[in-house]
A and B are shown apart, each in its own frame.
Chain A
Amino acid sequence: DTGVSQDPRHKITKRGQNVTFRCDPISEHNRLYWYRQTLGQGPEFLTYFQNEAQLEKSRLLSDRFSAERPKGSFSTLEIQRTEQGDSAMYLCASSLRQGARETQYFGPGTRLLVL
């Protein structure tokens, strides 16, 4: 399977713990996005990378959140001192811009539950 993969698929943690999620994009895709989706809502943008550079961060991304893409391939999203409000599905998407066209393909997501 050459699609976007995410690990883990599910994570249950206690409030105050740190968690880290991984995303492996489609190979040759130079752009990688993180979104968050709460129940009954559409995904909301968190941040994105072009190669290893983080180009934009949403105001949703508090200081407790950090994302990296050290070699321009896989990416990690870390949440420090988790809060119950962090419970959500965290989605990763990758894309390859071709001229004016760019289509984002999503991974299966990591569902986080903070107790």
Chain B
Amino acid sequence: GQQLNQSPQSMFIQEGEDVSMNCTSSSIFNTWLWYKQDPGEGPVLLIALYKAGELTSNGRLTAQFGITRKDSFLNISASIPSDVGIYFCAGQPQAAGNKLTFGGGTRVLVKP
């Protein structure tokens, strides 16, 4: 089963708002990745983090690799309608091979 706790499970956004989501783990990871998945499609890589403490931006997206190696967060600034989708964090364990362990996802929806 999955070992990453991702929160929130879902959130509503209004255009222009900043949003934030995070992932925590009981295990140490040496790489954190953030993906976005649209319905019926595969996950698309947003940001990759390789060092504890690293803060990386990709356009309106910013992600950080926690100092303890057990957490990461993703921020989206000035959200737009196409930010709707499911965001997944994924970690590569330090000593258990190269497979990714995924969080349960954060579903981003537009406020009615």
Contacts and interface: CB of A to CB of B under 8 A. Distances in A.
Contacts of A6: 42
B100 A104 contact: yes
Interface string B39-51: 0111111001010
Contacts of A42: 2, 4, 6, 88, 90, 102-105
A97 B97 CA distance: 12
B60 interface: no
B102 A44 contact: yes
Interface in A53-106: 55-56, 58, 91, 93, 95, 97, 100-106
Interface of B: 2, 4, 6, 30-31, 33, 35, 40-45, 48, 50, 88, 90, 92, 97-105
13 contacts: A35-B100, A41-B2, A44-B102, A45-B99, A48-B98, A100-B50, A101-B31, A102-B31, A104-B33, A104-B45, A104-B100, A108-B41, A109-B40
